[in-house]
Structure 1
Amino acid sequence: MKLHHAIFLAMLAGGIAGALTQEQSTLLGIPLLAGYDLIGSLFINALKMVVVPLIVTAIISGMVGVGQGKSVGRMGIKTLALYMTTTLVAVLIGLLMVNLFAPGIIDGTPARDLLGLSANTHEALASVKDRGAGDFTDILRQMLPPNLIAAAANGQMLGLIVFSLLFGYFLRVEKGQAPQTLRELIEGIYLVVMRITMLIIRFTPVGVFALIAATVTRTGLDAIIPLAWFFATVLVALFTHAFVFMPLMIRLVARRSPLRHVQAMTPALLTAFSSASSAATLPLTMECVQKRAGVSPRTSSFVLPLGATVNMDGTALYECVAAMFIAQAYGMDLSLTTQFMIVLTAVLTSIGVASIPAASLVAITVILGAIGLPLEAIGLILVTDRVLDMCRTAVNIWGDSVVSVLLARSEGEEQVLSLPVSQMEQRAQSAR
């Protein structure tokens, strides 16, 4: 059975089990609610266990592979600048929408009780409030911590991410046998940690069942309302980024027709939506960009594989909305500093964990840890994750293709989107 089918069935089974269970119910003398909590806690702890090694090795491995075999010169700098810009805008759009819709606030009250979240969070909320009351210098200090291990142990992942980016960059440019051996070692560790992560992800249906059953046991079906608002908020934010901001970039910067580019990318977008995998869609994305949009192989072969590693607009947007939704549900007073922390962490984590399975799940744990919130609500947002994963994967692919068009036009490629898609395909076939 495919994982998303298993998760869907686990959601249904968890809802039914929770509806049939009362807080004092037992099975063979074992309290059912305590059993649900134990299984859910083990699942969340397993995710937390792999966060540090996964982020460090993924970011270093990704930085080492940036433009591998090519010189990261003018084109590389322009590409990275465009990717970082579009990702930042995506996160800011998500931040705007989640503040506008406030899905974590129902009838003027934080949705903590509706979602069955623990009420014993006074210490966590107090620490978050104290952190938010500070100024931006606290964020800068976290970016360069004096003790990386202590920072990681305390959940301050921002410094670890910055260090990994620097380490990966300089490891990439170093020559000789020793750096090559270190690169291979880190790649090997990354592959092993990925295997461990995949093992944990295989148990996602079990964790989802337990978390949903525990929530429904405590609250009934009241959790549906805030989750529906969260779902709608993410969809509106993704639509705004993909079909308002990106088309404006094509029209104003590339001076080409956004509608023509949508037509060119339709096969890749449909494949990305159905498969929910950027990596699996990459070959079709390259074919659509080259043969249907008219971007040269020189540009697309550099921009698109790099985008599959470091550019995940939809993923970063989703991380931001999810973290803000959970913070709102806890009744947290979100200061400008705390929101800036969420934006910065979402942008940076999207670079390191974008290409791994269940990337958003791992990244959200990092963001919540960065602002000091518990992780117990992560299991709840899995209820809506499959459909949203399909949507944000399509947005990721769309963002990569738009950046390839913008870069191609900046490099003087006049043939980009200059003809209808059918004529582009005929020209490509004739050239072959």
Structure 2
Amino acid sequence: MTPAARIATAAELLDEVLEGAAAEKVLTSWARRSRFAGSKDRAAVRDHVFDALRCLRSFAALGGAMTGRGLMIGMARSTETDPETIFTGEGHGAAALSDAERAAGQPPVSDAEAGDMPEWLWPHLTRALADEAAAVAEVLRHRAPVYIRVNTSLISADALARELAAEGILTTPGPLVATALEVTEGARRLASTIAFGEGRFEMQDAASQAICAAIPVQDGHSVLDYCAGGGGKTLALGARATLHLTAHDVAPERMRDLPVRARRAGIDVHLAERGELAGLAPFDVVLCDVPCSGSGAWRRAPEGKWRLTEDRLEQLLGIQAQILDEAASLVAAGGLLAYATCSLFEAENGDQIAAFLARNPGWQVETTRRLTPLDGGDGFFLACLRRI
């Protein structure tokens, strides 16, 4: 495929996404029916689609239309590339620009449009981040770094870096935590490496690793990951100490790969159904990495900021409060309740903790930590609450 053909394809796929289809599903379907497209073609088309989703409003403004074609015109203009050189109508490329398309388009007007955020979300961002809001929004318009977590119970970071380099994958020490390596070359080959197959590393954002490192655990602790999902934080905690680990999720199918990953990493994890938890309690530490807006990770999942609505955010706040109250009942006297989100919004973070303390006497805040994409990883919030 020529560069122009890749852009024409991305424009067509973006039209499907704008109509409500999931980007991953659209890209997978296209790849399956387009055997002519090589791996570099698929990667390029994917990058165009996700770059446009990260910069949806500003590209649409520059391109003059909230369409796949408008977004691709806007993408060209954002890099000061003349779209006439891409939209030529030659071969399998996109049709030449019309007079209306040449005349259309303008720079973003509002702060939210320039920051590629929905207007209704901008006050949430500025309330939480104040003067840093624009800078964080700018970072979220770009691709996220690729980080891996070194399983230091099996190998050192330096040794893993050398092993991966021998397979053509280059890394550099990551920010925030000693277990993080940033992958600077060869990221798409990570899952096929010997080191991954033998559990010496997992894919995990640096900020997510830092949050896990900030949760106090020690040998012999009984630890429950209450909203385990795929189990990344479960494994990160298990790599730090010899724990009695339990993982639970309201949707158990999310944990289907966790037993294999745990065995690979040399970690014992019990997967618990909801009805088991009361019998297994009390736990020394309960982690609640709750469902949230995902605003801190919108570089990785940019559809999230366009799919989120005010009603959905209110629903998430209710779910978070319910999870906190339920999980608190499983914590031992003197034990720890760790509340985490990958959200930037105060409503999901500090406000949620304040409301919990008002509802539940007998708890105190031990530590809190807030990370934004300006720190190098995703945006995260952690509050560690001690049962008095």
TM-score above 0.5 = no
Q: Which has the higher contact order (CA 8 A, sep 6+)?
A: 1
Q: Give TM-score scaled by structure 1 length.
A: 0.24
Q: Which has the higher helix share?
A: 1
Q: Which has the higher strand share?
A: 2
